[in-house]
């Protein structure tokens, strides 16, 4: 009787050890696969580095056409919109600023308010300082900013640098004044054209 109990205990111990051995093998194989996967990803990044996005300069307006304190809305070929404001009286690119006019909160259109020295989003009273940093409303609470586009002035003409992929977006356009209904998906360029036809 005692002999049988000893044999059973010994069998259970062997099964437990076998189970633990299999478990540790599985863990080892899983670790190796994960390690090789990460290594392969590093090699792939080295062999096939991400190509920098192609960018190009697009004409916006002649410098004289935008008075200090004025702003225009520019639509990139991809359909993104930028608010371009003249914040200085000079004729250098540093006298202008181009920021995405799409509010990072819920996508309404922001516009430049010269009298308040800020960009304003009418949907939920979001405010941004002249550099695009949020100063009030939901974008401020979320620590969001308006992305900035580079500008340059050549021969009295103002140009904006934008990504050139997805050129099928419908072409660029510039509006003299921001306008149209504020709201997600609003395209101020198309809106202005539609009103012009009425």
**Binding segment toward ligand FES, per CB under 6 A, in 44-52, 54-62, 72-80, 103-111:** 103-111
**Among residues 106 and 157, whose Cβ is nearest to ligand FES?**
106
85 lines the binding site for ligand FES (CB under 6 A): no
- Residue 110 CB, nearest distance to ligand FES (Å)? 7
- Between CA 112 and CA 131 the distance in angstroms is 11
User: In the sheet where 81-86 sits, what is the strand order?
Assistant: 148-149, 96-100, 81-86, 71-75, 173-175
Question: Is there binding between residue 192 and ligand FES (CB under 6 A)?
Answer: no
The stretch near ligand FES (CB under 6 A) out of 87-95, 131-139, 146-154, 188-196 is: 131-139
Torsion region of 69: left, alpha or beta (phi above 0 gives left; psi -120 to 50 gives alpha): left
| Consecutive H or E run containing 86 | strand 81-86
126 makes contact with ligand FES (CB under 6 A): yes
Q: Closest CB to ligand FES among 93 and 145?
A: 145
Q: Which one of residues 58, 80, 93, 106 is an interface residue with ligand FES (CB under 6 A)? A: 106
Round to whole Å and give the CA distance between 60 and 189: 13
Residue 103 found at the interface with ligand FES (CB under 6 A): yes
Torsions phi, psi for 151 (to 5 deg): -130, 155
Strands of the 134-136 sheet, one edge to the other: 111-113, 118-121, 126-128, 134-136
- Count of residues interacting with ligand FES (CB under 6 A): 11
**139 to 178: interface string for ligand FES, x by CB under 6 A:** x---------------------------------------
CB-based burial, 104-125: b 16+ in 10 Å, e otherwise: bbeebbbbbeeeeebbbbebee
Partners of 107 in the β-ladder: none
When asked if residue 136 is in the footprint of ligand FES (CB under 6 A), the reply is no
Q: Interface with ligand FES includes 108 (CB under 6 A)? A: yes
Residues that bind ligand FES (CB under 6 A): 103, 105-106, 108, 121, 123-124, 126, 137-139
């Amino acid at each position: 009787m005692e002999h049988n109990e000893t044999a059973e205990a010994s069998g259970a111990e062997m099964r437990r050890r076998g189970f633990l051995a299999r478990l540790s093998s599985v863990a080892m194989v899983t670790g190796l696969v994960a390690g090789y996967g990460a290594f392969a990803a590093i090699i792939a990044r080295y062999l096939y580095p991400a190509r920098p996005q192609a960018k190009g300069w697009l004409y916006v307006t002649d410098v004289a056409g935008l008075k200090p304190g004025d702003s225009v809305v520019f639509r990139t070929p991809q359909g993104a919109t930028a608010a371009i404001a003249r914040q200085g009286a000079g004729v250098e690119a540093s006298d202008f600023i181009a920021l995405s006019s799409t509010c990072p909160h819920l996508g309404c259109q922001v516009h430049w308010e010269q009298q308040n020295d800020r960009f304003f989003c009418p949907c939920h009273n979001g405010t941004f300082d002249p550099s695009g940093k949020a100063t009030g409303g939901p974008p401020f609470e979320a620590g969001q900013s308006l992305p900035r586009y580079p500008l340059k002035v050549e021969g009295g003409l103002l140009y904006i640098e934008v990504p050139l992929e997805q050129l099928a977006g419908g072409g660029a356009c510039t509006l003299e004044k921001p306008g149209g209904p504020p709201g997600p998906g609003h395209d101020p360029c198309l809106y202005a054209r539609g009103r012009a036809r009425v």
